[in-house]
Amino acid sequence: MYYLISDTLIEATIDECISSGKKYVAVLTPDEWRRDMERFQMGIDMEIERHFHTTKAEVNYDSLTGTFAVPDRQDLMESDHDFAFAMDERGIVLIDEEGYARKLVRHLYHTKKWRIPSLERFLYDFLESMIKGDSALLESLEDELSRTEDMILAGKASVEVLSRIADIRGDLLTLRTHYEQLIDLGQELAENENEFFQDNNIRYFDMFTARVHRLLDIVTTLRDYTVQVRELYQSQLAVKQNNTMTILTVVTTIFMPLTLIVGWYGMNFRYMPELDSPWGYPLVIVASLVIVIGSLIFFKMKKWL
């Protein structure tokens, strides 16, 4: 895929990209890059690995190269969309085996029209498309944490709550790392060390970096929120355990005097006058009831029950 940057992306050939004098965008597979990289005259011999794990940019003598590792928003902790790029003042080549970059560029081809076209504006929209929808994603995670908090306070949370909170925390950690790397990339582009970009267009990279900073702030806030929700669950669990222990303690305390009576009258002494009294058995029953009722009243007054 080859495009010239005009008021829209215009499909072209590799020869038109190289000789037209207009800024261009090329999306190639690793094999196509190895075959044609000499024609782009960037003065680099960039080896393409099978998978990349970081988003970064490296300044070369007469080019800018780097990689992207974009977390899959449907499965943040498991998979990344990764591709590489090489760029100079004439245009950018995206080296993508999976097809993710191709899809983003194709979307821009169908949807974007620029009043003042430039390579910088294309890069801004391309980078923006990577984080499109992240605000809604983070809002949905916040809503889920809020619902979880309400369930905990209502005493309806199950054991799976801690597992889900851990999953959300892991997702946020992945996004935080991604945003930090995007900020570094945006700052590297804004520095314009090789002077590939026009000074009045550097603002696009500053705008992108500022937006990612805001997303990073939200992620940081949500990670703190997950800690609070987890601590709330643990505190509610401790309260339940304390209530259970309180009930067990109260029951044990009530039956201690009764156990004493049973033990006392279980002794095999010959001279126990109560055994011969017709009122002995009823008196023991009454004494036991008085002990139980008195203990319950006492614990109610102390608000232990």
Per-residue pLDDT reduced to its tens digit, 235-277? 877 767 777 777 787 788 888 888 888 887 777 776 677 777 7
Delimiting residues of CATH 3.30.460 domain(s) in the chain? 1-130
What is the edge-to-edge ordering of all strands in the sheet holding 2-5? 9-11, 2-5, 24-28, 91-95, 80-88, 64-71, 56-59
| Residue 261 confidence (pLDDT) | 81
Say which CATH topology domain 1-130 has: Beta Polymerase; domain 2 (3.30.460)
Residue 118, classed as helix, strand or coil, is coil
The C-alpha atoms of residue 236 and residue 234 are separated, in whole angstroms, by 5
The pTM (predicted TM-score) of the whole model is 0.78
Residue 47's pLDDT is 63
The reported pLDDT for the residue numbered 129 is 93
Residue ranges, the chain, pLDDT below 50: none
pLDDT at 61: 80
User: Residue 136 pairs with which residues in a beta bridge?
Assistant: none
CATH number 1.20.58.340 is the correct assignment for the domain at 247-301: yes
pLDDT of 235 reads 81
**What pLDDT is recorded for position 299?**
77
In the chain, CATH 1.20.58.340 covers 247-301
239, two tokens: 């309260």
The terminus-to-terminus CA distance of the chain in angstroms comes to: 75
Query: How much is the pLDDT for 210?
Result: 95
DSSP state of 86: E
Q: Could you give the CA distance from residue 9 to residue 7 in angstroms, rounded to a whole number?
A: 7
